[in-house]
Structure 1
Amino acid sequence: MLLANRTVVVSGVGAGLGREVAAVCVREGARVVLGARTRENLAACAAAVDPDGTRSAYRVTDIGDEEQCARLAELAVERFGGLDAVVHVAALDTVMGGLEDADFAEWQRVLDVNLLGTLRMTRACLPALREAGARGDGSVVMIGTQSSVAAPTEVRQAAYAASKGALVSAMYSLARELGPYGVRVNTVQPGWMWGPMVEGYVAWAAESEQVPHQAVRQRLDARMALPRMAEDGDVAETVAFFASARSRGITGQCLMVNAGELMR
């Protein structure tokens, strides 16, 4: 299994990608330490992916709070003796609009969560990650977005896209800085990703246009080379690869999981 005997911290566990990442990691043999702001989401995720509770632990965590980030990293060490990888799913993606209608206080909030929150969580995990690196491999996996390099026409999320673009820039510096410790830093960039968020968009678009949900879904799928949009689970599989020793020679890289909508 890809992640046998590894401990993976996953921030931002909810009903979508975070839960899929946790499920894939457990399936691949990992122990998972889960963080999110809502205890109910954490408990539901842990029960779903690890019913007997032997390979999971969780703690309420807001990545905007440095002390809470530290406590989540400490939980991994206390419960499982260390950590080998951290996956940053937590993000603020509900601020809509572009420049003309921008509320820059909201933009600052998005940047604080998506950029600085990810860096807070990474720094909190760094002592344990360095130990993993000394053993042969430590991994940081960031979640980016295709919209940071190709803005979609259907929705405008300039603040979110900018924050994730900044995160990619930070990734390059971190890959160079942490490489000597044996810690790799990579980014998975989803495009349209079938899961709760896109399901919500499809429902909204169908109602707005007075067309069946399937018509909106087919329109999106038709843009993909496969042609079907990737799912949360497809992104989670790629995350597991980056968290595993199979990618030991890879750092400072972005990998799009977008069913071929955009090719670079």
Structure 2
Amino acid sequence: MMLDGKVAVIAGAGPGLGRTLAVLMAREGADVAVAARSADVLDAIAAEVAAEGRAALAVPADVSRPDDVRRLADAVTGRFGRVDVLVNAAFPGSHRRAVLDMDEEHLERWRAAVEIATYGTLLTCRYLAPHMVAAGGGSIVNVTSMSSRTGYAGRSDYAAGKAGVHLLSHCLADELGPSGVRVNCVAPGWIASDVLDDWMRTRAAAEGVTFEEIRARDVAAMALRRIATEEDVARAVIFLASDQARSTTGATLDVNGGQLFT
């Protein structure tokens, strides 16, 4: 039970990685609060946490809005009395648009994407970390991306937002370290999912090859010859959140099967 008795908050808890992380954290002994914009998704995740025998709290919130994040902090501390772990997993989908092709609508989407990723992480840390400082310790884990280490055409919104979180995490690690609060990142590469398979099929059709050929070529570029799963990423987050990583802060743990070495 790596998180036995702890209270964990997952900001940006969606139906994929967020759900997997919430359930695994509950199995590791944590009570879990989940926050995102979709109330229906949150209620379903909270029900799964409760089914694991742990207390659950669902708080609909837009992490890029200060009032929503203050309300999240109040709801969590009002229910549980403390915060031990904060995971920032909110991310916008990339619109895959080259910078020089952006019109006003795409420029606004770019700004919103960076706000969700970087400013949203700043806000949750600003209003939840003080409770960790007051308690003398805690752990913040920010889920970033391999894309924050290397840019790809058409994905500057996603890459810039996640890269901002990396350096924000370094600053916070330095600021909060004396109070016993650790701040780290987990940077996934590709994660096995229907979305990834659809993208591979699109590329296969564009190149006139089969899905199997594209997948085999992509996997061959990974040192471990396998695509990471949601559970692989969640386990890395749980490790950094736990006391087993009590001397680790300001670090980034890559989970990409060896697709990119840093």
Give me the TM-score of the superposition, normalised by structure 2.
Answer: 0.92
Identity within the alignment, %: 35
> Is the 1:47–1:53 Cα contact (8 Å) retained in structure 2?
no
> Is the 2:94–2:157 Cα contact (8 Å) retained in structure 1?
no
SS at match of 2:98: coil
Q: For 1:42 and 1:149, how far apart are their aligned partners in 2? A: 30
Amino acid at match of 1:115: T
Instruction: Map residues 46-61 of structure 1 onto 2, 5 A cutoff.
Output: 46-51=46-51, 54-61=54-61
**1:131–1:212 CA distance, 2 compared to 1 (3 A):** farther
Q: Which moved more, 1:190-199 or 1:201-210?
A: 201-210
Amino acid at match of 1:170: L
Matched, 1:171 2:181: no
Instruction: Map residues 57-76 of structure 1 onto 2, 5 A cutoff.
Output: 57-76=57-76
Q: For 1:235 and 1:26, how far apart are their aligned partners in 2? A: 16
| Alpha-carbon shift at residue 242 of structure 1 (Å) | 0.9
| Alpha-carbon shift at residue 49 of structure 1 (Å) | 3.3
Amino acid at match of 2:128: C
Q: Which residue of 2 aligns with 1:115?
A: 118
Q: For 1:45 and 1:51, how far apart are their aligned partners in 2? A: 10
Matched residue count: 259
> Is the 1:186–1:254 Cα contact (8 Å) retained in structure 2?
yes
Q: Deviations over 1:128-165 (max 9, x none)?
A: 12134x1xx3111111111122235xx63111101111
Matched, 1:262 2:260: yes
Q: Which residue of 1 aligns with 2:23?
A: 23
Amino acid at match of 1:119: L
Q: Deviations over 1:182-234 (max 9, x none)?
A: 11111111111113542342343345456554443323222111110111110
Q: Which residue of 1 aligns with 2:43?
A: 43
SS at match of 1:188: strand
SS at match of 2:261: coil
**1:200–1:68 CA distance, 2 compared to 1 (3 A):** farther
Give me the TM-score of the superposition, normalised by structure 1.
Answer: 0.91
Q: Which residue of 2 aligns with 1:77?
A: 77
**1:46–1:210 CA distance, 2 compared to 1 (3 A):** farther
Q: Which residue of 2 aligns with 1:191?
A: 189
Instruction: Map residues 1-264 of structure 1 onto 2, 5 A cutoff.
Output: 1-51=1-51, 54-102=54-102, 103-132=106-135, 134=136, 137-152=137-152, 156-209=154-207, 212-264=210-262
* Unaligned 5+ runs, structure 1: none
Q: For 1:68 and 1:127, how far apart are their aligned partners in 2? A: 17
> Is the 1:93–1:160 Cα contact (8 Å) retained in structure 2?
yes
**1:209–1:44 CA distance, 2 compared to 1 (3 A):** farther
Q: Which moved more, 1:200-209 or 1:116-125?
A: 200-209
Amino acid at match of 2:163: G
